[in-house]
Amino acid sequence: MEGKDAYAELSSIRDLMERSSKFISLSGLSGVLAGIYALAGAGLAHKIITDQSSSGAPVDSGSMIFSPLVGIALAVLILSLVTSYWLTSRKAKKRNEHVWNPVSRRLLMASGIPFFTGGLFITILLWKGEHIPIAAACLIFYGLALVAGSQYTYQAVKWLGIGEILLGLIALIYPGNGLLLWTIGFGVLHIVYGIFMHFKYER
């Protein structure tokens, strides 16, 4: 009986330490939904590119086709962020936690620097008309943001980030496959990550 009490006390202490150092209210479902948004966006982008090609108009780095593609990417990003915040807030409330606490602030600070640096980098690429490396830049900087922030949350976030970085590097080597690799990174990997998080930590 004493052994069970000691084990329960140790588990309670470990849980308290984890709550104080790790943000553990991230929702696996938000990862799945972000992946679905990305797949839908990629499908729409592919249709736009296909229609442009079939019309006989050239699809090059200076084509106006990139304006709607950027809009699609921004829509996917905004939907993903709003969904993630809503589901994470709901999960935190169920755990009697505040979504905005010292750990979540450290998480946002760590991941925010590479995330916003990447946003500025991509904006500069758009401004200069250098569209080819954009898919790779999205993956690499997003991956760096995940790896940087993973020290304050689940270890699975780090591996998701590494996967995004590797896909981004591949996209630099094979720029013609940028949309496909973007789809895998933001679509497929997010869905796999979300399912893993749900079954490992939320059930």
Q: Is residue 153 part of a domain?
A: yes
Q: Is residue 137 part of a domain?
A: yes
Identity (one letter) of the amino acid at 148?
A: A
Q: Is residue 19 part of a domain?
A: no
What phi and psi, each to the nearest 5 degrees, are found at residue 58? -70, 140
Count how many domains the chain has: 1
pLDDT profile of the chain (203 residues), mean per 10 = 50 47 71 94 88 62 62 90 87 75 84 94 89 92 94 90 97 92 95 90 71
pTM above 0.85, yes or no: no
Q: Is residue 12 part of a domain?
A: no
**CA-closest candidate to residue 137, choices 159, 150, 120, 153:** 120
Q: Is residue 136 part of a domain?
A: yes
**CA-closest candidate to residue 184, choices 84, 68, 35, 49:** 35
Q: Is residue 32 part of a domain?
A: yes
Question: For residue 163, what pLDDT is reported?
Answer: 97
Which region, left, alpha or beta, applies to residue 107 given φ > 0 means left and ψ of -120 to 50 means alpha? alpha
CA-atom Rg of the chain in angstroms:
20
Contact indicator for 152, 131 with CB cutoff of 8 Å: no
Q: Return the number of other C-beta atoms located less than 10 Å from residue 192's C-beta.
A: 15
Q: Is residue 110 part of a domain?
A: yes
Q: Report the C-alpha gap between 95 and 154 in whole angstroms.
A: 16
Residue numbers of the domain that contains 60:
27-202
Q: Is residue 22 part of a domain?
A: no
